[in-house]
Amino acid sequence: MEEIAILGVGMHPWGKWGKNFVEYGVVAARAALEDAGVDWRDVQLVCGADTVRNGYPGYVAGATFAQALGWQGASVSSSYAACASGATALNAARAQILAGMVDVAMVIGADTTPKGFLAPNAGERGDDPDWLRFRLLGATNPTYFGMYARRRMELHGATQEDFATVKVKNARHGFENPNARFRKEVTLDEVAASPMVSDPLRLLEICATSDGAAALIVCSMDYAKKLGHTSPVRIAGVSTVSPSYPNTLIDMPNFATDSAFGVAEPERGFRDSIAHAAYEQAGIGPEDLDLAEVYDLSTALELDWYENIGICKPGEAERLVRDGDTTIGGRIPVNASGGLACFGEAVPAQAIAQVCELTWHLRGEAGARQVEGARVGLTVNQGLFGHGSSVIVRK
């Protein structure tokens, strides 16, 4: 698979700012353009990640940000894949660049979130599984996070201290990140003293909802060379896979799994397949990684992702975090950014933000949280309704 170059990255800090999401996106976009040394008028394609809670402008995110930056004739596209929207937008940009349709593109996502849990749009929709899980079960997102955590405890002997250790690690990382919303180190005792939200997970072990934005400027390798970038950070693989039938591990928003009674289970479960597809594109394996950004909706889910991306075998994730392997300075740092534990969810921006973080590390620009000698990194997350997302970035 041919590679494309990352010329520029930019973010608007995460938080609860009370502004229109477009304002955040413009800040991130201008930062990415400045970082790339590219004039806005030279961008040929704008790929926006949709935010569905913000009305018409969010549904046409590509055009929304093109207009906000000033109409200049660029082509636009908009992608919705829930939490994987940013990677889907990046994949759209990559496809057009590799096809020779454009040389340089902007990928952008931004969000303004409501207070409290994410919830379905208003209205009565009895055939919508996302609506049904709230109305029939009262199953907010943390309900699922708690069930996944309890499953991990039953299968692998994870303890509440293991989950809390993940939070302590990520808080230490996020303390050094100027774009993080929560920049405060915590102790195991402080995690244990926080309110129980969805047994066995406590308040400090579940990510918040946040406002924020992230943007990338990506281009063909030839275009990068023309601008004098002889060794840019590159996108080596983008996975946007969906599950294979039967999917026997429950996923939000469903409240039942597929039956494997009459059909054999696939070689890989859905979450295992997400990073695997990116590895195949890049021609590498988990042993080649120097760091990873994973989708820690909860501390327990971070442990699951260690196994899903192949940095340990099933049941070994607890040992990795206990031994400090996934801490900066360890064998394979995970969520050096602080992860969603320190950022919270700004849904269309977060998969893009993960790529920004890897880019800073591979350039050696991550400051006090720098992973020394980083040359290959992976992102992974998962959007509702069967959207996988993984990006491999290398130098």
Determine the Cα–Cα distance for residues 53 and 234; give it in Å rounded to an integer: 32
Per this entry, what is the length of the chain? 395
The packing angle between helices 299-308 and 270-282, to 10°, is 50
Strands 233-239 and 387-394: antiparallel
Other Cβ atoms closer than 10 A to 209: 18
| CATH assignment of the domain containing 191 | 3.40.47.10
C-beta separation of 369 from 175 below 8 A: no
pLDDT (tens digit per residue) in 341-371: 999 999 999 999 999 999 999 999 999 999 9
In a domain? residue 313: yes
Q: What is the pLDDT along the chain (395 residues), one digit of tens a residue?
A: 799 999 999 999 999 999 999 999 999 999 999 999 999 999 999 999 999 889 999 999 999 999 999 999 999 999 999 999 999 999 999 999 999 999 999 999 999 998 888 888 788 999 999 999 999 889 999 999 999 999 999 999 999 999 999 999 999 999 999 999 999 999 999 999 999 999 999 999 999 999 999 999 999 999 999 999 999 999 999 999 999 999 999 999 998 999 999 999 999 999 999 999 999 999 999 999 999 999 999 999 999 999 999 999 999 999 999 999 999 999 999 999 999 999 999 999 999 999 999 999 999 999 999 999 999 999 999 999 999 999 999 99
Please tell me whether residues 85 and 189 are part of one structural domain.
no
Determine the Cα–Cα distance for residues 25 and 88; give it in Å rounded to an integer: 17
Determine the Cα–Cα distance for residues 193 and 359; give it in Å rounded to an integer: 36
Please tell me whether residues 159 and 37 are part of one structural domain.
no
The closest alpha carbon to 111, from 16, 246, 5, belongs to 16
Determine the Cα–Cα distance for residues 249 and 368; give it in Å rounded to an integer: 38
Please tell me whether residues 95 and 65 are part of one structural domain.
yes
In a domain? residue 129: no
Please tell me whether residues 13 and 92 are part of one structural domain.
yes
Q: What is the extent of the structural domain holding 380?
A: 141-196+236-394
Please tell me whether residues 69 and 175 are part of one structural domain.
no
Total structural domains in the chain?
Answer: 2
Alpha-carbon 254 to chain mean position: 21
Please tell me whether residues 278 and 267 are part of one structural domain.
yes
- pLDDT value for 160: 97
Please tell me whether residues 24 and 146 are part of one structural domain.
no
C-beta separation of 45 from 63 below 8 A: no
- pLDDT value for 202: 98
Determine the Cα–Cα distance for residues 270 and 274; give it in Å rounded to an integer: 7
The single-letter code of the amino acid at 75 is: S
In a domain? residue 204: no
In a domain? residue 130: no
The closest alpha carbon to 129, from 391, 365, 386, 390, belongs to 386
Encoding tokens for residue 230?
């002889």
Encoding tokens for residue 211?
């406002």
In a domain? residue 277: yes
Please tell me whether residues 16 and 155 are part of one structural domain.
no
Neighbour-count burial for 42-74, b at 16+ CB within 10 Å, e otherwise: bbbbbbbbbbebbeebbebbbbbbbebbeeeeb
Please tell me whether residues 30 and 102 are part of one structural domain.
yes
In a domain? residue 181: yes
User: DSSP letters of 347-388?
Assistant: HHHHHHHHHHHHHHHHHT--GGG--TT--EEEEEEEETTTEE
Please tell me whether residues 224 and 319 are part of one structural domain.
no
Determine the Cα–Cα distance for residues 153 and 118; give it in Å rounded to an integer: 26
The single-letter code of the amino acid at 136 is: L
- pLDDT value for 115: 87
Cα 24 to Cα 10, 250, 340, distances in angstroms: 11, 34, 18
In a domain? residue 136: no
Please tell me whether residues 249 and 359 are part of one structural domain.
yes
Three-class DSSP category at 97:
helix
pTM for this model (two decimals): 0.98
Please tell me whether residues 245 and 307 are part of one structural domain.
yes
